[in-house]
Amino acid sequence: MLAEIQNDLLYLLNILESIEKIKIYSDETGTAEDFYYANDQINFNATLNLLANIGENVKKISVQLKEKKPDVQWQDITDFRNKAVHDYMGLDIYIVFRIIKSDLEPLKKKIFKIISEEIKNNNFNEQELELAKGSFYYRHIPFDRIKEKKGKKKADQFLHPDSTGTRKCPECKGIIKPGETELNYELETISVTVRNVPASVCTKCGRSFIDGHITEDVNRLVNRITEDLNSFTKTHPQIGERRREVAIAV
């Protein structure tokens, strides 16, 4: 997606979901050693993947939001993601355990506060938040910790069919029909355009609504493309450090 603050809600929700899953995997262990060896290291490895996912989503958050919230250690989170992905064997299990036991809860509180503030400032779309609440992908997030504006209308009132079977847009009340849309990702060294993404599209204003699981699938696809291209660039230095653009259709 475009690196604008209006698109950051999805990335913050992805981070919250990852934190909640890490809590599930680590809650019953009291020491770094116990956590490392628990369940034949499945919990530890899954947690590293989730920590890397947190860092990947932080990389996508707009500069505008990061500058507004300097109290969040954005760069430290990204740096750990890079180490988890590229230097897995060199990770210190004690540092990993400290992060999940001491650092994630304060980060979670800050993210809940950011979402609440940006909803109030109209930078985040309330209907998108309502849709996320009903998504299976975000089922572990305690949404009651997000303070929302009073008197809002739920997206369900529009996106769910009415008595005539019609779904209406929460923005312009136009009719929503199945269609396709395009997602644009502006990352550090690469621009990725994903076309033909399944979506519900308003026939009046053209706004697109994408199911959470589809968005996550596309995010994973973009992550793989980015990492493969970065690896290719490292082995072919003649390509140089110029910004690269990729367009794909799904």
Backbone dihedral angles phi then psi of residue 138, each to the nearest 5 degrees: -100, 25
**What pLDDT was estimated at residue 156?**
47
The pairing of beta strand 190-202 with beta strand 244-249: parallel
Contacts of 197 (CB under 8 A, 6+ apart): 180, 181, 182, 183, 210, 214, 218, 250
HSE of 153, CA atoms in CB hemisphere, 13 A:
12
What structural domains does the chain harbor?
5-145 (no CATH), 156-249 (3.10.20.860)
Asked whether 132 and 138 are in contact (CB, 8 A), the reply is yes
User: Using alpha carbons only, what angle is made at residue 94 by residues 66 and 109, rounded to the nearest 5 degrees?
Assistant: 35
Tell me the residue length of the chain: 250
Q: For residue 100, how many C-alpha atoms fall within 13 Å in the half-sphere facing its CB? A: 31
Considering the entire predicted model, what is its pTM? Answer: 0.63
Amino acid, single-letter form, for residue 67: E
Backbone phi, psi, residue 166, to 5°: -100, 135
Listed residue (143, 123, 149, 115) closest to 131, CA to CA? 143
Q: List, for the chain, all residue ranges whose pLDDT scores fall below the cut of 70.
A: 1-3, 88, 148-164, 170-171, 186-189, 212, 238-243
Q: Which residues are catalytic?
A: 81, 86
